[in-house]
Structure 1
């Protein structure tokens, strides 16, 4: 044979080799399928356990109850029981590293209130012993997490903190088993529990899982549709695209890596009673899905193990939930690398869908590269350039104003220049959205109506699309509910329909005068009679440093922790609102403004505002309303002499563009807005109305707009009437001089606004007297008059919430307060009231009804014929006039001082038709109590 002919034949053989190997790997008479493994002995029946390979053997650990470690030797096909776990261990993914098997991200205890482990546990096969290792940080303890090993470190992703009740997390942590160091890495986009993870080529992959929520009877149904990928070298999550959508949704599944593929098998879901049999494979190189053979027996709560060219699985549960538990074992011959494209069967899509995926009510933040500029550029980028992005859905369209973002990372770099333009958008509908961005240039374009004659600047990637899926947030997080609006004079989430009552802090008003925000300083010091006096320096909130938790945000290597911690404290006390000024130039504090300088009103401090956004984002995640007060009485005329002119328009546009995307936000036209004897230079009626109209016209989310009032009835009577019936003013942020007047004043203004055709939402936000207000607990331990007149008085009058003002002449006042713990008892008492109204009464359908009781000093609030609420300062010999109604009513008592649940006393029910005695309170009739009457509905009534 010639050399040329020989070379040609060798080349032909090499070209055919992959095809021949693939053919031999999957012969027609040897179908690729799972097979039962005949074993000696059997493993302990268990589920919510873990399987792991270690030194050529398979180890089955944990599960419900205390179980032995079962060890399988593939050479002898024999199971052998070893030592039992030291405690019940379940819901974990064990990993092998060195001479040990590590258990982290696990739970112990009984369903549904399981608790996460507080320490890492290691099992040493050579000595058949368990050992408790390093303590897991309190803030990062969870079970049901995925765990994988990379370069001697363990990576823990997802998990749930409160058993199956709630508390699922998007967390990612790195644990060093040698040093015990626990390092927090960026959160994933999606929270998930009952999940497993794998690492290959320096990337961590997590697929499937769910967000378990037994509290709302949604343990199985909230399945996570998309997987995620974390780049371990860059330490960042890659964008989630629709290509990562799992073909078969499930949780409690098995997961492993093989030949560039992530293999997901088994699992449980609400979709079927039996455990899943499907096995899906995602090729990390081609981004394609294919189907592997189904398991012989569906199972969940166990794992996959690769040994000797086979993948094994054993044990687990055959049905969703707890049983029946299995002892069977099966295995599948692993395909050769050259066979990775075989067995697709055409069942799964072969196209690549790179559509980005975001969540409902979460911020979609898009960056565009435009021309280089800076905060101080002669061609002012805030005034002479304008980014608009049109977002379109089949059912909706919104145009969102963008803003200049310098280098795109100014919170960290303090950059004042760059070429990044940013838009923040909060989608309110699931499904496909498209966008089209345009950056225009022209003199004063930021405050002009758009026209075709304006210059359009080049913008990279100006069009695109994305997919919106359901939110994974829960409870207080505003991203679980959508945008807050006003309905029936109460706060109500526009998208979910839930009503909401506000309770929080009104002080310090200069919250943003914080020493670790860029460009923040104080100009002089106001020292006026009747006002609080600012301290010597900016806020530091040092007492709340310990409230910052591992994993919370900060900026520039740890800045902001004290302020973030302060918000954690408020949220932990059940508070859900914080009042703060965004511009107090010439005001009491004179230390807060969005500008680069206090005397430059057309250029904004990009890095400062980016740091504000870190705080605001955290507040939203904690369920704390952003009560944004745009000005105060001393500077109402600072911008455009009070008009909605160029300066005010520019200011409001920037605030809307940068912060309106937050679902839990209200705009306040200004503190103590309007003229008063001590503050005669103020906006006029027309200026005030023009400002509210401008905000409503330019805020794409239509957040509530409120007006903060002066304190006396006379001031209200002089300033408020011209605002009545104005559709763009949603309500009042009430200030009341004498707390005994709260109930009557609030009832009066609700009635007047109702008669004017546009009933106002009214919140009790600043209680007098001005010098005292809400004192520290040490001076007013039970806050008796605040509790009676301001808290219960406002809520029983139909108020939509309260905030506590700290007064002007005591330490820790409205400008100097650094420690919210000084009023810890006040927050607790407030949370008792807020929680009662949210849990027990349809407050949005109730009205103040003082005519129904003759009890001195009592308040009545009722949905006539259905629900009656009586608050009495003294709970002795209480009576209620039920003459006009029929039916039987259950009687319950609530303790406004100590809270707790509803209680019963000597009178359990009363009949309508006459004046009725309500009985004695469960204890101490000498103080205030609340009586709740709810109509009992018989089985034949609807």
Structure 2
């Protein structure tokens, strides 16, 4: 049958198969079962078998799937080969995954590109057990992120660095790493294990011995002849559980392992890149908590053969439209205006000088973090992915940063209208969950102090103001040291000013009475109520309660 008639037949077949009275089976068409219920924005999954023998099932056949939403909308997607379905490479199991975003009855039909017998199925999407949805730019103020673009969320993000923790017992990781973070209000993690390509000796030394350290997804240049199915299952176990907890996951190391002595993206042919992204999307995109496709750290952003081409492929295949980015070390000149990227991931380099050595002493400074966030904004949310003052793990010992720098760097990002991640672990190859160098939630760890600083910041942003209505407004400030005091505001309604060292400043308020004036100690969380302010033509002068700490001023009508 020629291509024209195949194209003509497929919509007719889909129409017939989608009639409700004909749909009786889910998965394998020879098997009948009750209709599965899936919460909206949760993962739907079913598996089917194909007994036909293929030389390479990854490349010789495609499992094509068409979903029909309760509204009648049709969505083209595909399934993926999964070996024996349990992490083994040998088998005849294929899986279909999907992320439903409408309640009601969903139907789907599938077919094989080689003409093998297809089938159909149905599931019910319910409001019970609902997920929060996909992080997108907030459609009313794209400085910030929101579930599905409509429900704003302030990211409380931690950089969890256990590359090799995939090889350890998952229940231990869940209990000793993920659950403490969730218990302390973290709703977002930057991780190194998604996708898994390198650095597998970085596992939790106070945890169980790894069950395996063979954790590379594939060997360089051979993704479909050396695919490690067990690693996919281990990754999905972590991602899936975090999805049930509505914790977003941003892949920091991405797909180019060459940055860390792993498989190089450039060793793949254009066809392999296309096939790999399609396979990756089929497996991972139906997880709502996938909170950022990223090529790798510190790349220029404009290379078709690397990060730009990767983002283009993801944009092509990810029908759920998860966030896409590249991590820019030098955001002074970035590529985030491109529609391939839907948010910015930045670092605070090349802010003061074109040469890194000339400005290295400034990488601990709050103002380089603030400016990097401002410069990275191209009408899309900015995420400080690698702020040098915010990483104890790698940067503190290299730039001489301390916990005061960390706190100031965090406020510098927030008042620039940006999200950020931070890290209180000690070193790369001395990774612990507990103790003085582990997660910052115990009295042995000195960075428990920083965790309390982040709690204070989170409380201000989540409880004291409507952050999602605010934007950076440093131009409203006067009579202070340049690049030291920062303002976030919804002019005429609410203002947040960060004043390190209790520095005095003037703030241009829109005319009117402001009855809620609060000074907050960014170290202790102590709050002091100020007197009502009547604003007129001239800026209003403010003086912090003292100069012994870093103060935050909240002004509201």
User: Shift of residue 420 of structure 1?
Assistant: 2.0
Determine the structure 2 residue equivalent to 1:562: 172
Q: 1:366 to 1:847 in 2, by over 3 A?
A: same
Give CA-to-partner distance per residue, 1:837-893, whole Å, 9 cap, x none: 1233233332222222233321111111121111111236554232x5334342123
Equivalent residue of 1:458, what SS?
coil
Determine the structure 1 residue equivalent to 2:163: 511
User: Shift of residue 784 of structure 1?
Assistant: 1.0
User: Shift of residue 906 of structure 1?
Assistant: 4.0
Equivalent residue of 1:604, what SS?
coil
User: Shift of residue 483 of structure 1?
Assistant: 1.5
Whether 1:388 aligns to 2:54 is no
Determine the structure 2 residue equivalent to 1:259: none
Determine the structure 1 residue equivalent to 2:108: 435
Task: Provide the rounded CA distance (Å) in 1 between the counterparts of 2:385 and 2:282.
Answer: 26
User: Shift of residue 598 of structure 1?
Assistant: 6.0
Task: Provide the rounded CA distance (Å) in 2 between the counterparts of 1:709 and 1:619.
Answer: 27
User: Shift of residue 628 of structure 1?
Assistant: 1.7
Task: Provide the rounded CA distance (Å) in 1 between the counterparts of 2:524 and 2:52.
Answer: 59
User: Shift of residue 733 of structure 1?
Assistant: 1.5
Task: Provide the rounded CA distance (Å) in 2 between the counterparts of 1:735 and 1:807.
Answer: 20
Whether 1:641 aligns to 2:302 is no
User: Shift of residue 486 of structure 1?
Assistant: 1.8
Aligned partner (choices 403, 408, 421) of residue 802 of structure 1: 421
Equivalent residue of 1:690, what SS?
helix
The answer for unaligned runs of 5 or more in structure 2 is 1-24, 27-32, 203-212, 350-362
Task: Provide the rounded CA distance (Å) in 1 between the counterparts of 2:108 and 2:264.
Answer: 34
Give CA-to-partner distance per residue, 1:752-800, whole Å, 9 cap, x none: x2xxxxx232111212278975669xx98x8111111x20001101112
Alignment of 1:207-246 (within 5 A): none
User: Shift of residue 575 of structure 1?
Assistant: 1.6
Give CA-to-partner distance per residue, 1:66-105, whole Å, 9 cap, x none: xxxxxxxxxxxxxxxxxxxxxxxxxxxxxxxxxxxxxxxx
Determine the structure 2 residue equivalent to 1:743: 370
Task: Provide the rounded CA distance (Å) in 2 between the counterparts of 1:833 and 1:567.
Answer: 21
Aligned partner (choices 579, 593, 614) of residue 190 of structure 2: 579
Determine the structure 2 residue equivalent to 1:472: 129
Q: 1:735 to 1:656 in 2, by over 3 A?
A: same
Aligned residues of 2:167 and 2:215 also touching (Cα < 8 A): no
Task: Provide the rounded CA distance (Å) in 2 between the counterparts of 1:805 and 1:383.
Answer: 43
Determine the structure 2 residue equivalent to 1:852: 476
Alignment of 1:277-288 (within 5 A): none
For the pair shown, the structure with the greater C-alpha radius of gyration is: 1
Aligned residues of 1:584 and 1:592 also touching (Cα < 8 A): no
Task: Provide the rounded CA distance (Å) in 1 between the counterparts of 2:188 and 2:429.
Answer: 23
Give CA-to-partner distance per residue, 1:895-935, whole Å, 9 cap, x none: 322347xx4424244434433244654xx641112111112
Equivalent residue of 1:601, what SS?
coil
Whether 1:838 aligns to 2:462 is yes
Task: Provide the rounded CA distance (Å) in 2 between the counterparts of 1:614 and 1:586.
Answer: 19
Determine the structure 1 residue equivalent to 2:117: 458
Q: 1:596 to 1:631 in 2, by over 3 A?
A: closer
Determine the structure 2 residue equivalent to 1:370: 50
Determine the structure 2 residue equivalent to 1:892: 518
Aligned residues of 2:499 and 2:551 also touching (Cα < 8 A): yes
Aligned residues of 1:633 and 1:670 also touching (Cα < 8 A): no
Equivalent residue of 2:166, what SS?
coil
Equivalent residue of 1:368, what SS?
strand
Task: Provide the rounded CA distance (Å) in 2 between the counterparts of 1:583 and 1:794.
Answer: 27
Determine the structure 2 residue equivalent to 1:337: none
User: Shift of residue 430 of structure 1?
Assistant: 0.8
Aligned residues of 1:889 and 1:911 also touching (Cα < 8 A): no
Aligned residues of 1:886 and 1:912 also touching (Cα < 8 A): yes
Q: 1:585 to 1:662 in 2, by over 3 A?
A: closer
Determine the structure 2 residue equivalent to 1:707: 326
Q: 1:632 to 1:889 in 2, by over 3 A?
A: farther
Equivalent residue of 2:67, what SS?
strand
Equivalent residue of 1:456, what SS?
coil
Determine the structure 2 residue equivalent to 1:933: 555
User: Shift of residue 683 of structure 1?
Assistant: 8.1
Task: Provide the rounded CA distance (Å) in 2 between the counterparts of 1:733 and 1:392.
Answer: 35
Q: How many residues align?
A: 481
Aligned residues of 1:584 and 1:632 also touching (Cα < 8 A): no
Aligned partner (choices 375, 386, 407) of residue 787 of structure 1: 407
Determine the structure 2 residue equivalent to 1:731: 343
Q: 1:906 to 1:735 in 2, by over 3 A?
A: closer
TM-align CA RMSD: 3.6
Determine the structure 2 residue equivalent to 1:356: 36
User: Shift of residue 801 of structure 1?
Assistant: 3.0
Whether 1:623 aligns to 2:243 is no
Aligned partner (choices 69, 80, 87) of residue 403 of structure 1: 80
Aligned residues of 2:256 and 2:295 also touching (Cα < 8 A): yes
The answer for unaligned runs of 5 or more in structure 1 is 1-238, 241-352, 441-454, 474-478, 517-558, 676-681, 754-758, 936-942
Q: 1:876 to 1:640 in 2, by over 3 A?
A: closer
Determine the structure 2 residue equivalent to 1:670: 295
Aligned residues of 1:796 and 1:861 also touching (Cα < 8 A): yes
* Structure with greater proportional strand content: 1
Equivalent residue of 2:502, what SS?
coil
Q: Which has the higher contact order (CA 8 A, sep 6+)?
A: 2
Q: 1:649 to 1:819 in 2, by over 3 A?
A: farther
Q: 1:863 to 1:773 in 2, by over 3 A?
A: farther
Aligned residues of 2:163 and 2:199 also touching (Cα < 8 A): no
Task: Provide the rounded CA distance (Å) in 1 between the counterparts of 2:437 and 2:463.
Answer: 32
